[in-house]
Chains A and B, each alone.
Chain A
Amino acid sequence: MRKSAIRNQIRTLRFHASEMTQQVLADRIGVTRQTVIAIEGNKYSPSLEVAFRIAQVFGVPLEQVFQYEPEPAPKRKPRRRRPRASTSPEGR
Chain B
Amino acid sequence: MDLSFQEKSIWGSLVGVLITFAYYFASAIGMARSEGGASPAELAWLSITVIVALIAIEVIYHVILAIRSEPEPADERDALIEARASQIAYVLLVVCAFVAIGQVIASSLLEGAPEVARYGSPILTAHLVLLAVVVAEVTKFTAQLVYYRRGLQA
Residue contact B153 to A31, C-beta cutoff 8 Å: no
Which one, A34, A41, A47, contacts B4 given CB within 8 A?
A34
Number of interface residues of A (CB under 8 A): 19
- Interface assignment of B75: CB less than 8 Å from any CB of chain A: yes
Residue contact B75 to A32, C-beta cutoff 8 Å: yes
Residue contact A32 to B72, C-beta cutoff 8 Å: yes
- Interface assignment of A45: CB less than 8 Å from any CB of chain B: yes
Say how far A27's CB is from chain B's closest CB, in angstroms: 10
Number of interface residues of B (CB under 8 A): 16
Contact string against A for B residues 3-17, beta-carbon threshold 8 Å, 1 for contact and 0 otherwise: 011110000000000
- Interface assignment of B115: CB less than 8 Å from any CB of chain A: no
Which one, B2, B75, B153, B154, contacts A35 given CB within 8 A?
B75
- Interface assignment of B76: CB less than 8 Å from any CB of chain A: yes
Contacts of B7 in A (CB 8 A): 34
Contacts of A34 in B (CB 8 A): 2, 4, 6-7, 77, 148
Say how far B11's CB is from chain A's closest CB, in angstroms: 14
Contacts of B150 in A (CB 8 A): 1, 43
Say how far B72's CB is from chain A's closest CB, in angstroms: 5
Residue contact B75 to A31, C-beta cutoff 8 Å: yes
Q: Count chain B CB atoms within 10 A of each CB in A33, A34, A42, A47 and give the residue with the most.
A: A34
- Interface assignment of A57: CB less than 8 Å from any CB of chain B: no
Residue contact B151 to A1, C-beta cutoff 8 Å: yes
Contacts of A12 in B (CB 8 A): none
Residue contact A45 to B153, C-beta cutoff 8 Å: yes
Say how far A51's CB is from chain B's closest CB, in angstroms: 11
Contact surface of B with A, Cβ cutoff 8 Å: 2, 4-7, 72, 75-78, 148, 150-154
Contact surface of A with B, Cβ cutoff 8 Å: 1-2, 4, 30-35, 37-38, 41-47, 50
